[in-house]
Amino acid sequence: MLQSLHVKNLALLEETEVEFGEGLNILTGETGAGKSLLIGSINLALGGKFDREMLRAGAESALVEIRFSGDKAVTDKLREMEIEVEPDESVFISRKLQPGKNICRINGESVSARQVKELAELLLDIHGQHEHQSLLHRKKHLEILDAYCGEELTPLLEEAGESYRRMSELSSRIEEETLDEAARRREQDLAEYEWREITESHLQPGEDEELENRFRFMNNSRRILEGLYETGSYTGNDSEQGAGSNLGRALRGIRSIAGFDGRLEELAGQLAEIDSLLADFNRDLEVIKSECEFDEAEYAATEERLNLINRLKGKYGNSIEEVLSAAQNRRERLDKLADYDAYLERLQRDLKAQEQRYAEVCEEITAVRRKNAMELEKELLEALKRLNFLTVSFQIAVEEKQVRTAHGWDEVEFLISTNPGEPIRPISQVASGGELSRIMLAIKTVLAERDSIDTLIFDEIDTGISGRTAWRVSEQLSILAGAHQVICITHLPQIAAMADRHFCIAKSSTEDNTITDISCLSDRDSLAELARLLGSDSFSEAALENAREMKRQADQFKNTVRAGV
């Protein structure tokens, strides 16, 4: 359940906080006051698209925070996302909005907008102002039926999707691999040439680095040799100034007196170690000197080998490992081309097997959809009658179109007749805007009974309805609110009268500032707001009595329904 919403510096909202309750939460207010902005704030907190124009004038950033009470599905998802679960299992989501950068957090931990959207799917369902227009498209009908089918259909759709992916992959490969004899021979010759070019070079992993180091050493051998001779003159035994000669004299001197004092023996030992280290250093120096002696043939061979390796790397990869992998790919391709007909036949056989399995799964999917379509027809028909479709006929057509998609090969269409004697026809040809709104509410009501999502939000579900029909919609929302938290923006007094908690959104202005705020209405203020929605310019006793009567009628319905009478 959505417990609270806190918004700061978003459009006309300077700073406001709303605490929602169980049952039916109604939001009303004058046109342009910012009612839909509140729903937009919730959308933003849950990862919706942000535009810098949404910032309040003069503000550098905006903040939206929402808190939900959790359940097992939500806490399991949090653990899957490795996010800490609060002791009371509540979920706190915040999003700081600023141009070029958004910071999302769940329970204080930084997350991506994608992670927020994943969690949002378990928390609430938002019905936007124009969502009912989607019923004009058959694709939406398929989505609704599949949602009704639920877990019975999910594994079959996953299998169909995987089979469809494999079929597409195999079809593309067959199309790419279908070559005439001349093209196959050309490709075979090229693959043979490239394979031989690599294998006959006898490359060894790491060889290029070793050769580059050796070539660099040879290129700089004169400078290296000069430096070594200079160093040796100071560290060797060949001159009076050499450290080796002087260290030898020093060692003989200390050893001649070492027997007189233990400390002198210790010093002699230390000096002996230094003499040994220096001797090792001078030997290594001589080894490197000898490596500086090479002939032109070795230099040329090293350079030629490096050029070969770099040319192969330029053609086949950035490293010797990648070049060797390219050779392996050519070898595999040659094996396929050598037995090309058998290779293509194997691909065709695999494709045929996938097509057969796809067809079998699609038949199972069709059967599940048709079975559930009959059940959904009955439930929607009852829901439509409760919404003042008194003489309605409703059908769900599921036809096998044999057009392959990742969702099977069915086409689903909702058919309706709203008047006696009229033939049943597609919704897109019959329903008005107000009828579409009621049909969508009926669908949401039926699906909600199978859905674990606790919070449903309706942004002006009352489009195009009035009078007796408005009461029916109001009653249906109240029934829905008996099992779910419902948040609804409305202009209709019939719906507002049914509120368990009534909020008013108002806009106030000064010479240089405009602010939208929201407040939870007391019973008295709620009656005044109902009088305004009924069209009264002044809150006369007659207007208020009319509002009281509407409220009494709504309370009577709620008490009757929720008492199970």
Judge whether 55 and 531 are in contact, CB under 8 Å: no
Which residues are CB-contacts of 129 (< 8 A; sequence separation ≥ 6)? 36, 459, 460, 463
In Å, how far are 171, 188, 336, 339 from 344, measured between CA atoms? 11, 15, 9, 9
DSSP 521: P
Per-residue pLDDT of the chain (565 residues; tens, 9 = 90+): 899 999 888 888 888 888 999 999 999 888 776 777 888 888 888 888 888 878 888 788 889 999 998 788 888 888 888 888 888 888 999 988 888 788 888 888 888 888 888 888 888 888 766 666 777 788 889 988 998 998 899 999 999 999 999 999 888 877 766 665 566 677 777 877 888 888 888 888 888 888 888 888 777 777 777 777 777 777 777 666 777 777 778 878 878 877 777 888 888 888 888 888 888 888 888 888 787 776 778 778 888 888 888 888 888 888 888 888 888 888 887 777 767 667 777 888 889 999 999 999 999 999 999 999 999 999 999 888 888 887 888 999 999 887 888 999 999 999 988 887 788 888 888 767 777 878 888 888 888 777 777 888 888 777 777 788 888 888 888 888 888 899 998 888 999 999 999 999 888 877 677 788 888 999 899 998 898 888 766 667 888 888 899 999 988 988 887 666 4
Look at residue 238 and tell me if it is in a domain.
no
23/500 Cα distance (integer angstroms) = 6
How many CB atoms are closer than 10 A to CB 132? 25
Whether residue 186 is contained in a domain is answered as: no
- Asked, for residue 191, whether it belongs to a domain, the answer is no
C-alpha to C-alpha distance for 204 and 193, rounded to whole angstroms? 20
- What the block records as the tokens of 564 is 């199970």
pLDDT at 158 (0 to 100): 93
**Three-state SS string across 23-88, please?**
CEEEEECCCCCCHHHHHHHHHHHCCCCCCHHHECCCCCCEEEEEEECCCHHHHHHHHHCCCCCCCC
What is the rounded distance in angstroms from the CA atom of residue 484 to the CA atom of residue 473?
16
548 Cβ contact partners less than 8 Å away, ≥ 6 residues apart: 527
Q: Is residue 221 part of a domain?
A: no
In this prediction, residue 383 carries a pLDDT of 87
Please report, for the domain that includes residue 63, its CATH number. Answer: 3.40.50.300
DSSP state of 497: T
* Residue 305, domain member (yes or no): no
* 313, 323 Cβ separation under 8 angstroms: yes
pTM for the whole structure:
0.64
CA atoms of 309 and 478, how far apart (whole Å): 77
Q: Are 34 and 517 a contacting pair, CB within 8 Å? A: no
Comparing CA positions, the residue from 543, 549, 551 lying closest to residue 498 is 551
Rounded-to-integer distance, Cα 137 and Cα 184, Å:
47
**Residue 199: in which H helix or E strand, if any?**
helix 181-199
What is the pairing mode between strands 124-127 and 109-111?
unpaired
Measured between alpha carbons, how far is 109 from 121 in angstroms, rounded to an integer?
19
Residue 268 lies in a domain: no
Residue 132's nearest CA partner among 410, 422, 428, 382 is 428
Q: What is the pLDDT of residue 120?
A: 85
Say how far apart CA 59 and CA 30 lie, in whole Å: 26
Is 140 a domain residue?
Answer: no
Position 157 scores a pLDDT of: 94
Q: Which domain holds residue 491?
A: 2-129+454-562
Tell me the two tokens of residue 123.
């928390």
String of DSSP letters for 73-134: HHHHHHHHTT-PPPTT--EEEEEEEETTEEEEEETTEEE-HHHHHHHHHHHEEEE-TTGGGG
Q: How many domains is the chain partitioned into structurally? A: 1
* Exposed / middle / buried, residue 207 (Cβ in 10 Å: 0-12, 13-18, 19+): middle
The CA-to-CA distance between both ends of the chain, in Å, stands at 26
Question: How far is the CA of 527 from the CAs of 312, 434, 532, 540, in angstroms?
Answer: 85, 27, 9, 12
CB 217 within 8 A of CB 329: no
Residue 239 within a domain: no
Report yes or no: 523 and 548 within 8 Å, Cβ to Cβ. Answer: no
Cα separation values, 357 from 149, 155, 350, 364, Å? 21, 14, 11, 11
